[in-house]
Amino acid sequence: MAATSHTVSLRANLWALALLLLLASPGAHPDQALQPLADIRAAAETFVLDRLGDAAAGTTATAGRLDPRLRLARCSQPLEAIAVAGDRLSGNTSVGVQCPGGWRLYVPVKVETLRQVLALRHSLERGSTLTADDLDRVLVDTGRLVHGYYTDIAAVTGHTLKRSAAGGTLLTHALVEEPPVIARGQRVALTAGGTGIAVQAPGEALADARVGERLRVRNLSSGKVVEGVARGPGSVEVH
């Protein structure tokens, strides 16, 4: 009776050992059939940086955490990434990652472009003229600066502030009073915009204008007064 019990116990141990070896073998591990979530996140991050190309300098793309409970079949082909969220490649965006002919997942990605931009070193009143001593450089995510920014101290030296601002305030196009690029009475080049054809005519500005501002211009070829947008020094675009 004791020998029989010993035989049963030995068989049970052998079965347990065989089962343990089976589960430990690479071919039988259940995780081997699943797509690693780290690969999906990496595909989304690489896609954003590749799409940015040369503009990716100083930019980081960080995919959001994926639900660890996801169980996606391992893809036998390279993962593909596609643009979503209006193809926006800044701030908080989203990238589609898919297995061709199989599953598709939308991955949140945070895109940051860190650059040194100009900020006020101390408080200044409205109308103050900017000097190099008034400015500091700070590292910020420029993708969130919807009103633009400045990086060159020489580009803003001598300009004035449109309103009072506290120290640490970033310099934006909404804050800095830029000088006109076109003066009243100046000869300008009128360019027909939106036609796909570069058509130019000489004109005379009837008002001062900064970049992006509208102004009236007399077409010196036809004598007609037209309205356009200042695009740069001596350049007006009309539609």
What pLDDT does 85 receive? Answer: 63
The total number of structural domains in the chain stands at: 3
**Same domain, yes or no, for 106 and 71?**
yes
Per-residue pLDDT, 29: 45
Confirm if 80 and 98 have CB atoms less than 8 A apart. Answer: yes
- pLDDT for 148 equals 81
Confidence class of residue 54 from pLDDT cuts 50, 70 and 90? confident
The pLDDT value recorded for residue 169 is 96
- Domain extent at residue 65: 33-112
Residues in the chain: 239
Query: Worst-scoring range by mean pLDDT, 47-51, 73-77, 177-181?
Result: 177-181
Mean pLDDT of the chain: 83
Cβ atoms of residues 157 and 131 within 8 Å: yes
User: Strand ranges (DSSP E) for the chain?
Assistant: 59-63, 80-83, 91-98, 104-120, 135-141, 160-161, 176-177, 187-192, 200-205, 214-219, 225-232, 235-238
Structure-token pair, residue 170: 């970033």
User: What is the CATH classification number for the domain harbouring 134?
Assistant: 3.90.1210.10
- pLDDT tens-place string over residues 195-228: 444 568 899 999 998 877 889 999 998 999 999 9
CA distance 88 to 210: 29
Q: Is the pTM of this model over 0.85?
A: no
Domain CATH number, residue 217 = 2.30.30.760
User: Do residues 110 and 95 touch, judged by C-beta distance below 8 A?
Assistant: no
**Separation of alpha carbons 216 and 7, rounded Å:** 105
